[in-house]
Every structure is written in structure tokens, then in C-alpha cells.
Amino acid sequence: MAYYLIRHGETSWNKDNRIQGWTDISLSELGFKQAEVLAHTLKHLSVQAVYSSDLSRAYQTALAYQKLSNQQIVMDQALREIHFGSWEGKTWNEIITENKDEYGSGLYDNPDSRTHLGESMNMFKSRASLHFRSIVEKHPKDNVLIFTHGGNIRMIILDLLKQEIDFKHHIPIDNASVTVIEKTIEGTLSIVCQNDTSHLKSWNL
């Protein structure tokens, strides 16, 4: 039993280093190419279920796979990226410049902070990790593809490793990457592959 966590392809906001959150941004030209290459890689897997965030960038990535597999996709709002509220559409440099006092005080490092009126990091970690475990419980003996976002995958990894929020900075999750979590016979979840982008490199993407 394996659960494949797939980050969506590139968007123009990824390229510009803008915060997306729940803002519904489409894949870029490169992102669509990444999704196509990813689909050709995944089509050889034996898969029993496919889930996707309902945001366009993830769903468009999933659709590229569906065209080759004819698998039904379950659109799932709970697989969305963290809700960044008023920060969405801005770069981190803009946020720091506009909010020097809060940033200087370390408030942004507080995992319970919601100064941007979106989700706190702790709220997000709880949502992402609990929902992933609910999918695992629903598919205890299946191979499952989950098209989602970088933040979600990091939070799931943090939960499995029993790490604090700050450790997320040590977890690279690139666009169109694949992270694989396997379930043992005893029911233990284990990360066997993280941030695999070898399929993109072979196409110079």
C-alpha cells in the first residue's frame, strides 16, 4: 500500500515567488509540461484511487494523469494549501517590508499566529495531517495518488516525523515532485521517497 503525494506543476506565481494559498492560479506553460511528463511517469502504477485539491493548479496536474489513465478524480477542498488571507498575491519581501514591527518581534514565527487573517501554521498542520490519515483509513489496502500542494506535503511529513513546525524549512518539495509514503503490514506509515523529480530531469524540465 503506497500513498503518492504529488505537488502541482509550476505556476507564474511560483516563478515570481508570490504567495498563492487559496488564490486559484492556473499552471504556467512550464507547469503544463511538467504535468504531462509526470502523468507519463505515473501511468505505469497500479492505482485504486485518485484525490486532488480543488484548486486549479493541482486539479490541472491531476487531469494530465487522468487523460492517460481514465481514473476518476475525487476533488477535495481539504487538500488545499494553507489559507494565507491578506498575504496572498504578495512576495515574502513585500510582507516583511509592509509589516516590519510584527516581523521584527518574531510574531511570524509563532505557529499559532493569524496576523494575516488566514490559517495559523498549527491549524494548517492539523488539517493536512488529519485529512491525510483519513484517506489512509479509507484506503488501507490501496495505492492512492494525492495531487496537492507543497505546504500540505510538508505538514504531512512533519506529522510522520513528529517534528515541530520550524522543521518545515528543511523539507524541500519542488513543483511536480513525488513523495511516497508506504504502509507496512503492521500499519506503520513510512516515508520511502521524498521530493523525487527525476522524471523532470530526464526531460530537462
For residue 75, the cross-strand partners are: 52
Residues 6+ positions from 19 with CB-CB distance below 8 Å: 13, 84, 87, 88, 89, 90, 91, 92, 95
Confirm if 44 and 11 have CB atoms less than 8 A apart.
Answer: no
Residue 89 CA: distances (Å) to CA of 54, 60, 79, 94: 19, 20, 20, 10
> Do residues 65 and 41 make contact, with C-beta atoms less than 8 angstroms apart?
no
Which active-site residues does the annotation give? 8, 81
User: How does strand 73-76 pair with strand 2-7?
Assistant: unpaired
Contact of 34 with 14, CB cutoff 8 Å: no
Name the H helices within 16-120: 29-42, 56-69, 92-98, 100-104
Q: What is the pairing mode between strands 178-183 and 144-148?
A: unpaired
User: For the chain, how many helices (H) and strands (E)?
Assistant: 8, 6
